[in-house]
Amino acid sequence: MLNKYARAFFTRVLTPFAALLLRLGVSPDAVTLIGTAGVMAGALVFFPMGEFFWGTIVITLFVFSDLVDGNMARQAGISSRWGAFLDSTLDRVADGAIFAGFALWYAGSGDDNILCAVAIFCLASGQVVSYTKARGESIGLPVAVNGLVERAERLVISLVAAGLAGLHAFGVPHIDILLPIALWIVAAGSLVTLIQRVVTVRRESAEADAAAAVSGAEGSAEQGSGADR
């Protein structure tokens, strides 16, 4: 839901920066790779140490590459299937790194096995939510549903909470509770979104199969009629 509105806004804001990178000879694929590497570094270096504020700052600086690379490709007129594939694939890698960083913290110094399991569930469910849409579309279904918690919501909820939770290191009391709350929200929302997409694919596939059966029956009737003539 958030992705529908926020993406258009930030795309307009980042258009001049994308144009500058093109003038400097930077390719969209390079931006995709650098952005993913930056997100992974922020998540897997800072988060396991409990440095949630600085980790979030680093990740936020690089996460906008997901908008910049596509903007660059459109401006340069070089949008391609390869670029779309690379972007989508590395998005999954970056998302996994963020929740892996949370899981590593709770498995180590954070010392909370339940929250470690919740973070792992967020990681896995996020991948499966993305897969259900991609798989549904690959078999010719529109998967026409706006899920409760999609990628943009997962990132915003988890990163905002992590950044604020990191203020605990600067003396803000009790604010670190925001990260566990956010992880539970993302986990529950991802589960709801997964169910929404599975139900949608089930309905759309049944409708498509029924339409195909009707079309096949009509085709057989037409052939039979032609034979009678």
pLDDT, tens only, 123-134: 999 999 999 999
What is the chain's length?
Answer: 229
Sign of CA dihedral 214, 219, 225, 227: negative
Query: Does residue 39 surpass a pLDDT of 90?
Result: yes
**Residue 109 annotated as binding site:** no
> Is 95 marked within a binding site?
no
- 59 in Cβ contact with 42 (< 8 Å): yes
Which residue from 119, 116, 122, 147 is spatially nearest to 133, judged by alpha carbons? 147
> What are the catalytic residues?
91
CA distance 144 to 140: 12
State yes or no: pLDDT of 3 exceeds 70: no
Of the listed ranges 74-78, 213-217, 224-228, the one predicted with least confidence: 224-228
Pair of tokens at residue 118: 């919740």
CA distance 61 to 195: 32
Q: Is the pLDDT of residue 18 over 80?
A: yes
User: How far, in whole angstroms, is CA 82 from its chain's centroid?
Assistant: 18
Q: How confident is the model at residue 147 (pLDDT cuts 50, 70, 90)?
A: confident
Confidence grade of residue 7 (pLDDT, cut at 50, 70, 90): low
225 in a known ligand binding site: no
| 209 annotated as a binding-site residue | no
Measure the CA angle with vertex 96, ends 94 and 101; round to 5°.
Answer: 100
pLDDT at 223: 65
Q: Is 112 assigned to a binding site? A: no
Say what the pLDDT of residue 80 is. 83
Which of 122, 125, 156, 126 shows the shortest CA–CA distance to 6?
156
pLDDT value at residue 2? 52
Q: Which residue has the tokens 């709770």?
A: 106
Alpha-carbon separation of residue 140 from 41, 111, 133 (angstroms)? 37, 45, 11
- CA gap 116, 95 in Å, rounded: 16
Q: What mean pLDDT is predicted for residues 166-170?
A: 95
Q: What is the mean pLDDT of residues 87-98?
A: 94
C-alpha distance across the termini of the chain, in Å:
56
Instruction: Compute the radius of gyration of the chain from its Cα atoms.
Output: 22
What is the pLDDT at residue 227? 56
pLDDT tier for residue 221 given thresholds of 50, 70 and 90: low
Would the pLDDT of 136 be above 90?
A: yes
Beta strands in 87-214 (DSSP E): none
Residue among 197, 225, 63 nearest 136 (CA): 197
Please compute the mean of the pLDDT values over residues 39-53 and round it to a whole number: 97
pTM for this prediction: 0.87
Q: What is the mean pLDDT of the chain?
A: 90
pLDDT at 191: 96
Question: What is the C-alpha to C-alpha distance for residues 52 and 109, in angstroms, rounded to an integer?
Answer: 13
Q: How confident is the model at residue 218 (pLDDT cuts 50, 70, 90)?
A: low
Asked whether residue 32 is marked as a ligand-binding residue, the answer is: yes
Residue 224 assigned to a binding site: no
